[in-house]
Amino acid sequence: MIQQNEKESLQTASNLVTSPKVWFITGASRGFGRIWAEAALERGDRVAATARKLESIADLNEKYGQNVLTLELDVTRPEQAKAAVEQAHAHFGRLDIVLNNAGYSLVGTIEEASADDIRALYETNVIGTVSVIQAALPLLRKQGSGHILGTSSNLGHVTLPVIGYYASSKWAFEAIHESLAEEVKPFGINVTIIEPGAYATEFGSPESLKFAQGLDIYAAFKAQFFQELKELDRGDPAATPKALFQIVDAPQPPLRFFLGSHNLSGVRTAYAQRLATWEAWEDVSNSAQG
């Protein structure tokens, strides 16, 4: 028999699921950001949708009216991130979900990419994300609630050649969010890292890719790599909102969540190989303890 306090907990969870939520989403002009912003609005939530170019999301105003607030935001400008987060909070009265989705991939081998290429990638994928989080945290703490989500990748666990710097930015992204989750738990704030596999989004478009200056010696290797990428089984991005909503509506959301059906098997293999290597060298490792 369900006790009274259990009934109250179930009722609270039910209210959390059905109450409209307020989202703040970066990179809402295309890809997952656009799909998730529209899906949230379609289900009756309210969304502060941001993009580097305001005109790229202006149509959301016509379609969703007062439920959407469109804001210009270049996440590499911390002062703009702070202003956008504060404006969204003031406009809607609260923020329930802060979703960092803005990012791009640097294409090039480790030798090819310049220091400027790498810095620019991290300015957006890592430091830009942190700027939004740091702007939101004082507001979420004051509320005593909130859910920070970040779009990472299955490449936050495994790497591929030619996009190693992109993968490295996601490894940093994952570490930051894992530390963050422990730091903000006492304030009633949840953290979830969304880790998509390959999807048929605009992520391969010129806006989402930057190419390092190539060296001829890698031309054949990269051509083969790009051909293999074309043959990947890509998921349907339109199938993702339902899963995302289950995460944000859960009373106890997970820290990490794979998006798509192909990620777990690859990560299992990668971690099994790592464990096997560590274990094979365990005696040598132990001998260095002193």
- Which residues belong to the active site? 152, 166, 170
Which structure tokens are listed for 269?
């293999």
Q: What is the CA radius of gyration of the chain?
A: 21
Query: Could you tell me which residues are beta bridge partners of residue 68?
Result: 47
Which whole-number Å values give the CA distances from 159 to 67, 153, 162, 235, in the listed order? 39, 10, 9, 19
Query: What's the one-letter identity of residue 50?
Result: T
Question: Distance between CA atoms of 128 and 132, rounded to whole angstroms?
Answer: 7
**3-class SS of residue 22:** strand
* Residue 263, Cβ density class (10 Å: 0-12 exposed, 13-18 middle, ≥19 buried): buried
Question: Distance between CA atoms of 220 and 224, rounded to whole angstroms?
Answer: 6
CA 9-12-18 angle, 5° bins: 145
Query: What's the one-letter identity of residue 266?
Result: G
Total residue length of the chain: 290
**3-class SS of residue 25:** strand
Which structure tokens are listed for 46?
């309210």
Which structure tokens are listed for 41?
């609005």
**3-class SS of residue 98:** strand
Query: What's the one-letter identity of residue 265?
Result: S
